């Protein structure tokens, strides 16, 4: 007789972006290497305790009520897959590419929904282009041959952002690298859970683990992350992340494709650079930081209604906050004085693999104003240090296309196409 067993090492985790909350996306966007994936299908039990002339204290009946799924994920940061989860928590994603030829400018302004643009240069059909820069950047593939003798009319898919006359229009490299800037979504602009919603898109997360019938896996839909933390230690660790999420209770998918993984590698922490009171270069580069962590938190709760379903009507998301910790060698009293004087300097940390083109991978953390709320001297090592704790101050500089303000912005460099993470 053969006994069925399922080794823990055979687990595999995949992610997809949903078109709407609770609409499972069975087309896997990426298989994500993780070191931990724990889940809990948590039902609410309705106990029948109506008196029946008995001294028993337990329920006379148990009825299954509403249900919710809980997820915990851990692993190294992979710059081509971790953005799925950060975008799920924050929501606003703007992608910019690497320019190639031809390069020109818009000859007239364009509006949201426009299906052509007027360009100073002719751009062939099926060319990947970027219109505009910064938060207004938009990447599309030209949908037809250019017409005119200059300016040229360039057919494009319906635009999602307005663009002023004179802004840059340029072909970009299809192989990347692309920069995906993720900050807090503050309006209905862009991709959300409804026409006028500021809720980010939800995720479908699938896990192969063995015991489940047919596919051997479990699938969670309407996944909403409530916590994501990044940690690094220059001496001994990769950049790592942990996350917590809530979702609809798991179901068994009919099929799961065989796992495939990208060639992206995790990044060693020693390659990171920190800037305080300016960018992580030049005179504001700080070489004394040893460790750090960055914590994103978002309130969320499942809303159950009388809709003849044990799943929530929606998992509603609320406010976002960001805090941080950093440990410094005490070359001077700068960390302590940032706290004592309430200076709230710019904080920028960049970790890159140092490569170029499609092989380039990086993560950048920007807090335009970082409050040092507690700084304690550490005398427990060979060298005196400062252990600093702080909060990211909400500001307009770190906001994305949706406007408003954001406490933090995270930018990932990779070869992944625009629109993948939302």
DSSP codes, 69-134: EEEEEEEE--TTTTHHHHHHHHEEEEEE--EEEEEEEBSS-B-TT-SEEEESS---TT-EEEES-G
3-class SS letters over 156-176? CCCCCCCECCCCEEEEECCCC
Which residues make Cβ contacts (< 8 Å) with residue 70, sequence separation at least 6? 39, 40, 42, 244, 245, 246, 247
Range 173-206 burial, b when 16+ CB lie within 10 A, else e: eeebbbbbbbbbbbeebbbbbeeebbbbbbbbbb
Beta strand pairing call for 168-172 and 240-247: unpaired
Instruction: Encode the chain (422 residues) as per-residue pLDDT tens digits.
Output: 678 899 999 999 999 999 999 899 999 999 999 999 999 999 999 999 999 899 888 889 999 999 999 999 999 999 999 999 999 999 999 999 999 999 999 999 999 999 999 999 999 999 999 999 999 999 999 999 999 998 999 999 999 999 999 999 999 999 999 999 999 999 864 444 444 466 899 999 999 999 999 999 999 999 999 999 999 999 999 999 999 999 999 999 999 999 999 999 999 999 999 999 999 999 999 999 999 999 999 999 999 999 999 999 999 999 999 999 999 999 999 999 999 999 999 999 999 999 999 999 999 999 999 999 999 999 999 999 999 999 999 999 999 999 999 999 999 999 999 999 99
Ramachandran quadrant class, 235 (left: phi over 0; alpha: psi -120 to 50; beta: rest): alpha
- pLDDT at residue 58, as a whole number: 87
- pLDDT at residue 395, as a whole number: 98
- pLDDT at residue 1, as a whole number: 64
- pLDDT at residue 188, as a whole number: 62
- pLDDT at residue 189, as a whole number: 47
Check: pTM over 0.85? Answer yes or no. Answer: yes
Cβ atoms of 391 and 374 closer than 8 Å = no
Give the count of beta carbons closer than 10 Å to the beta carbon of residue 368.
22
- pLDDT at residue 210, as a whole number: 93
- pLDDT at residue 192, as a whole number: 46
- pLDDT at residue 196, as a whole number: 46
Which residues make Cβ contacts (< 8 Å) with residue 81, sequence separation at least 6? 15, 30, 32, 33, 262, 264
Sketch out the chain's domains with CATH numbers.
9-45+63-95+178-304+314-414 (no CATH), 99-172 (2.40.10)
Backbone angles phi, psi at 9, to 5 degrees: -65, -15
As given in the structure block, the two tokens for residue 282 are 């030049």
């Amino acid at each position: 007789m053969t006994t069925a067993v399922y080794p823990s090492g055979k687990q595999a985790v995949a992610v997809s972006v949903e078109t709407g909350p609770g609409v499972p996306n069975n087309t896997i966007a990426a298989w994500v290497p993780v070191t931990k994936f724990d889940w809990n299908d948590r039902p609410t039990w309705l106990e029948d305790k109506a008196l029946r002339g008995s001294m028993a204290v337990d329920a006379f009946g148990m009825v299954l009520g509403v249900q919710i799924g809980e997820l915990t994920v851990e692993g190294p940061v992979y710059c081509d897959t971790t953005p799925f989860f950060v975008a799920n928590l924050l929501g606003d994603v703007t992608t910019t590419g690497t320019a190639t030829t031809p390069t020109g400018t818009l000859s007239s302004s364009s509006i949201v929904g426009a299906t052509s643009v007027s360009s100073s240069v002719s751009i062939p059909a099926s060319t990947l282009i970027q219109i505009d820069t910064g938060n207004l950047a938009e990447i599309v593939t030209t949908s037809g041959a250019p017409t005119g003798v200059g300016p040229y009319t360039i057919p494009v898919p319906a635009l999602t952002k307005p663009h002023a006359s004179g802004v840059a229009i340029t072909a970009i490299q299809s192989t990347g690298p692309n920069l995906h800037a993720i900050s807090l979504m503050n309006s209905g602009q862009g991709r959300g859970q409804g026409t006028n919603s500021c809720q980010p898109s939800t995720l479908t997360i699938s896990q192969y683990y063995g015991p489940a019938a047919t596919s051997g896996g479990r699938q969670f839909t309407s996944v909403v992350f409530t916590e994501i933390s990044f940690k690094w230690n220059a001496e001994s660790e990769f950049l790592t992340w942990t996350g917590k999420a809530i979702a609809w209770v798991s179901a068994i998918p009919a099929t799961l494709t065989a796992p495939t993984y990208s060639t992206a590698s995790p990044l060693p922490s020693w390659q990171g650079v920190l800037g305080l009171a300016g960018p992580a270069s030049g005179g504001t580069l700080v070489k004394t930081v040893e460790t750090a962590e960055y914590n994103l938190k978002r309130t969320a709760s499942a809303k159950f209604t009388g809709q003849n379903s044990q799943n929530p009507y929606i998992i509603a998301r609320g406010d976002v906050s960001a805090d941080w910790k950093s440990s410094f060698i005490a070359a001077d009293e700068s960390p302590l004085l940032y706290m004592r004087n309430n200076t709230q300097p710019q904080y920028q940390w960049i970790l890159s693999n140092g490569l170029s083109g499609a092989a380039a991978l990086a993560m950048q953390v920007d807090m335009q104003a970082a409050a040092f709320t507690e700084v304690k001297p550490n005398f427990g090592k060979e060298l005196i240090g400062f252990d600093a704790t702080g909060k990211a101050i909400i500001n307009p500089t770190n906001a994305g296309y949706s406007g408003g303000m954001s406490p933090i912005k995270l930018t990932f460099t990779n070869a992944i196409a625009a629109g993948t993470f939302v």
